[in-house]
Structure 1
Amino acid sequence: MKALTLGPEGTYSHRATQAVADEIDFVESVTSIVEGVAGGEYERGVVPIENSIEGSVTESLDALADRNVAVVREIVTPIKHALLAQNSEFETVASHPQALAQCREYLAEEYPSAKTEAVASTARGVERAREDSTVAAIGHPENAGDDLQVLAEDIQDSTSNATRFVVLAPETERSDAGGKSTVIVYPNTNYPGLLLEMLEPFADRDINLSRVESRPSGERLGDYIFHIDFAAGLYEERTQEAIEELRGLAENGWVRVLGSYDTEHVV
């Protein structure tokens, strides 16, 4: 099976994708991954969806709302950040914006004068550190290789730092079986109590919501798309009834069902 994820080789996305496929290609944007799966070029795609410190990955949410794909699996992996450099004298710390944010307190305390540089991935930051002795990187300690020193390990601001990844497949492979499901709702309307009305179909059927996230629709100011994760499978009658109520509330917009799936923890 051939999968697409964020690269270059050595990213946390790469580590998660190794649990899915042996043949892996890399791009540097989540949108490209979703497009690659939606267009049928790849059997699977793996994208980060949420971090326990920094919250949702908005690029992933927006890309999933714009294209028809299925979510067939969820992978949760611990994030263990290390500071990597050629030596202890550096001026800049380069990494993915999420990694920089996850280590904000450590950097402020230990290297307050160091500049930060946002790059496309943690692995790209490691490449910058290999190329430039004035640059340090934040990444997995195994990415240091022979040419970088591990100056510090476990530098993330929370010891429970973890990231959720979702495994994408073509829409035709959507499954109704699994312990968790995701839907995206665009009501294309706004009135007092709308959000409450969207949540009530789940509460009335004792379905636990694990995440509710709103993102701007891009159509007009104050207009939103809602991403909803819940602990029930699409095969369940209660889930089908809840989604049918959502469709009624979003009769001027749309409801996109991404599928049901199970969660796997990968170290």
Structure 2
Amino acid sequence: MRIAFLGPVGTYGEQAAQAFAQLEQWETPELLPQTGIRAVIQALAAGRVDAAVVPVENSVEGGVTASLDALWEHPELEISRAVVLPIRHALVGSGSVDGVSEVLSHPQALAQCSLWLSNNLPNALQLPTSSTAEAARMVAGSHFRAAIASQQAAKDHGLKELAYPINDVAGNCTRFLLLRQGERNWHGELASLAFSLQANQPGALLKALACFAHRGLNMSRIESRPSKREMGEYIFFVDLELPDGPESLHQAMEELRPLCEHLAVFGAYPMTQL
């Protein structure tokens, strides 16, 4: 099995990929780091890997927009499993906390540690990177730069742990998706889909959501993203709980489809709390 994830080594995405491999009982998988979330999904869409792992939602900062946008661009992909990974950030570097004038990390990690940074490094310049592990790689050997990354990333890049944990919310966690090519699975505790509406008019979204409500399908998440075609036009991403099997989901999709300009069903899947 070849699994693409957001690299380099030491990211939370790599931890999630290892967890998926254990859950799927894949022996000796080949983990292939990619530069950027879009590159992870494109590697799967192009057939260069067998599976892809991407973050989709953080309990503090909400949806990961790069993943949502890339999923919408590749409706042929299916979600086969999800894991919820606890996130425990560390400040890592080669110098000391007192000498840090620049902090590098993924924008989500910087946001998740904003209060700690404000209280402990208020004058440090915050610089975004493509991943937390990439930030760790970039600060290696510097005495004025530090990174927000995992403890594993510190070990992988030979850095000292300057402070831990530094995330503002103790229960910080991220949901990762395992993406595959192939037939949709309709059995699972959650189902994910995305749709755009035929018309932007009063009650259009309410009518679409009623397809779920009167069948007792609870939405555990709804999020909108701009269509990027014109102002005021949106794509809606929805997660549905499926306590009673797939039949109600099939019925809801049949009712919803005529209301939509585009409808992408990414399938149903199990979710594991790590």
Q: TM-score range by the shorter chain?
A: over 0.9
1:64-120 superposed Cα distances (whole Å, 9 cap, x missing partner)? 001120000001100000111112212100011100000000000011011111011
In the alignment, which of 148, 154, 163 is matched to residue 174 of structure 2? 163
Question: 1:186–1:255: 8 Å Cα contact kept in structure 2?
Answer: yes
Alignment of 1:218-233 (within 5 A): 218-232=228-242
Query: Partners of 2:112 and 2:50 in 1: how far apart?
Result: 31
| Structure 1 gap ranges (5+) | none
Task: Kindly indicate whether residue 251 of structure 2 is the aligned counterpart of residue 237 of structure 1.
Answer: no
Question: What's the secondary structure of 1:238's corresponding residue?
Answer: helix
1:201 is displaced (CA, Å) by 1.1
Query: Partners of 2:5 and 2:70 in 1: how far apart?
Result: 14
Report the count of equivalent residues: 263
Query: Partners of 2:19 and 2:244 in 1: how far apart?
Result: 25
Segments of 4+ moved more than 3 angstroms: none
Query: Partners of 1:131 and 1:225 in 2: how far apart?
Result: 44
Q: In the alignment, what sits opposite 1:40?
A: 47
Question: 1:177–1:234: 8 Å Cα contact kept in structure 2?
Answer: no
User: Which AA in structure 1 matches 2:9?
Assistant: E
Q: In the alignment, what sits opposite 1:9?
A: 9
1:138 is displaced (CA, Å) by 0.5
1:19 is displaced (CA, Å) by 1.7
In structure 2, relative to structure 1, the CA distance for the partners of 1:147 and 1:41 (3 Å cut) is closer
Task: Kindly indicate whether residue 266 of structure 2 is the aligned counterpart of residue 258 of structure 1.
Answer: yes
1:50 is displaced (CA, Å) by 0.5
1:173 is displaced (CA, Å) by 3.5
Question: What's the secondary structure of 2:140's corresponding residue?
Answer: helix
1:174 is displaced (CA, Å) by 2.1
Query: Partners of 1:101 and 1:180 in 2: how far apart?
Result: 28
Query: Partners of 1:128 and 1:150 in 2: how far apart?
Result: 15
User: Which AA in structure 1 matches 2:197?
Assistant: P
CA RMSD of aligned residues (A): 1.5
1:40-68 superposed Cα distances (whole Å, 9 cap, x missing partner)? 22110000000001000001000000112
Query: Partners of 2:218 and 2:90 in 1: how far apart?
Result: 36
1:234 is displaced (CA, Å) by 9.9
1:34 is displaced (CA, Å) by 1.4
Query: Partners of 2:31 and 2:220 in 1: how far apart?
Result: 30
Query: Partners of 1:137 and 1:188 in 2: how far apart?
Result: 45
User: Which AA in structure 1 matches 2:7?
Assistant: G
User: Which AA in structure 1 matches 2:251?
Assistant: E
User: Which AA in structure 2 matches 1:34?
Assistant: I
Question: What's the secondary structure of 2:19's corresponding residue?
Answer: coil
In the alignment, which of 90, 93, 117 is matched to residue 127 of structure 2? 117
Question: What's the secondary structure of 1:60's corresponding residue?
Answer: helix
In structure 2, relative to structure 1, the CA distance for the partners of 1:259 and 1:233 (3 Å cut) is farther
Task: Kindly indicate whether residue 140 of structure 2 is the aligned counterpart of residue 130 of structure 1.
Answer: yes
Question: 2:113–2:167: 8 Å Cα contact kept in structure 1?
Answer: yes
1:115-138 superposed Cα distances (whole Å, 9 cap, x missing partner)? 111011100111122142211011
Query: Partners of 1:95 and 1:141 in 2: how far apart?
Result: 14
1:232 is displaced (CA, Å) by 1.3
In the alignment, which of 211, 214, 219 is matched to residue 224 of structure 2? 214
| Structure 2 gap ranges (5+) | 22-28
Q: Which moved more, 1:129-138 or 1:70-79?
A: 129-138
Question: 1:177–1:233: 8 Å Cα contact kept in structure 2?
Answer: no
Task: Kindly indicate whether residue 37 of structure 2 is the aligned counterpart of residue 26 of structure 1.
Answer: no
User: Which AA in structure 1 matches 2:172?
Assistant: N
